[in-house]
Chains A and B, each alone.
Chain A
Amino acid sequence: MSKFKKKKKGLPAISTASLPDIVFMLLFFFMVSTTMRETDLLIKKPALPVASEVKKLEHKSLVSTIYVGKSKDGKISGDKIQVNDKIIDVKDVPNFIFAERALRKEEEVKFMTTSIKADKEANVGTILDIKEQLRDINALKVSFSTSKGNDISGNF
């Protein structure tokens, strides 16, 4: 018993000096981790082609992304198109754009851009099909996503 009492007496006050640091740390963690989330790719991660004359896409909230690439399963050949979290057919591209439009304000719709992230090995035919579908529904602003660089010899 006597031992117990002595211990209680010697208990130090918990320092609160580090509290702001902990809070900041948590804050930073959440700031960082929330922007990290991206759609899980069901296709192989597209190896983007390199281009030098690139423009940055502004207003990220107005960008809808279409992924084009090979299936993860090596046995399935041909290009696959992915939007959000599912693989779709070319014919469903307009539905995807309509769904994206429905999420935006009406006056913002005309500023919406479609970003095509396609693998450099993908067929142009697939891309042209997507472009044709986009033209049909008047989604005319398109950006071919590339990484910036001057050496384009790795593209083909």
Chain B
Amino acid sequence: MARRENGEINAGSMADIAFLLLIFFLVTTTMDVDSGISRKLPEKSQEKPQDVIVKQKNVLDIVVNRNNLILVEGTDFVDVKDIKKIAMDFIDNGGGIGAPKDGKPGEPCDYCQGAKDPNSSDHPSKAIISLQSARGTTYGMYVSIQNEVEKAYNELRSELAKKLYGTTYSQLLKDYKDNPSESLKAKIDNLKGKYPQIISEPEPLK
């Protein structure tokens, strides 16, 4: 029997093995990034809330039934993809004067691009989107509509941002996240104030 030489164990490849394993784990683990549509729920107050009287023309009624059919303003059946356009036209209409702010009377919307139709919303600060769904509506449909409405607001804000600051709204948000500064915050707040998100969700249909 020939005796085997006890050579030195080659450690040169150890680093390679370690890297291989490292890369394997890096690839296989999906870092679970939780993202979603964020919403702030309305507060529940102790006393009975006062009824606020809102003109019908300032409310965009979106109703979804349990068969996932969407009805806008009680008359038109629409597709989810059309909601963004309808919502944008509605919010940006600017047919009248806005809500009074800081004690000052309301002013006409001087930044709106809309048709100024007297039968649609007066001002972005008055435009309410009402989303009523049935209990049997699927969650996917509900989220899609929320998404489209959100998109309408974001696009309007973006258009205004382009006009005022020469950049998009999402870019402003991104810049603010990277380095928060007072001037950026003022810009974002201004855009949010110009197009405030007013979404109402009435009790679901039975």
Contact = CB atoms under 8 A, between A and B. Distances in A.
Interface in B7-30: 7-9, 11, 14-15, 17-18, 21-22, 25-26, 29
Nearest to A56: B35
B134 A142 contact: no
A12 B32 CA distance: 47
Interface string A106-123: 000000010110111111
Given A25-B22, A127-B142, A156-B138, A145 B34 contact: yes
Given A18-B14, A54-B35, A123-B135, 16 more contacts: A12-B7, A21-B15, A22-B18, A24-B22, A51-B144, A55-B37, A122-B138, A125-B136, A131-B41, A139-B41, A140-B40, A142-B38, A144-B146, A146-B36, A152-B148, A156-B140
A88 interface: no
Contact count band on A: 35 or more
A136 B136 CA distance: 23
The contact size tier of chain B is 35 or more
B39 A144 contact: yes
A14 B7 CA distance: 11
A49 B187 CA distance: 32
B150 interface: yes
B100 interface: no
B173 to A, nearest CB: 9
Contacts of A54: 35-37
B69 to A, nearest CB: 10
A115 B18 contact: no
Interface string B35-75: 11111111110000000000000000000000010000000
A148 interface: yes
B37 A28 contact: no
Q: A interface, by DSSP: helix, strand, loop or mixed? A: mixed
Contacts of A29: 21, 25
A36 interface: yes
Contacts of B137: 123-124
Contact of B14 (A22, A122, A138, A147): A22
B68 to A, nearest CB: 5
Contacts of A14: 9
Nearest to B16: A21
A103 interface: no
Given A123-B139, A152-B80, A52 B39 contact: no
Nearest to A142: B39
Contacts of B135: 123-125, 128
Given A52-B147, A53-B154, A156 B68 contact: yes
A35 interface: yes
Given A123-B139, A131-B41, A53 B150 contact: yes
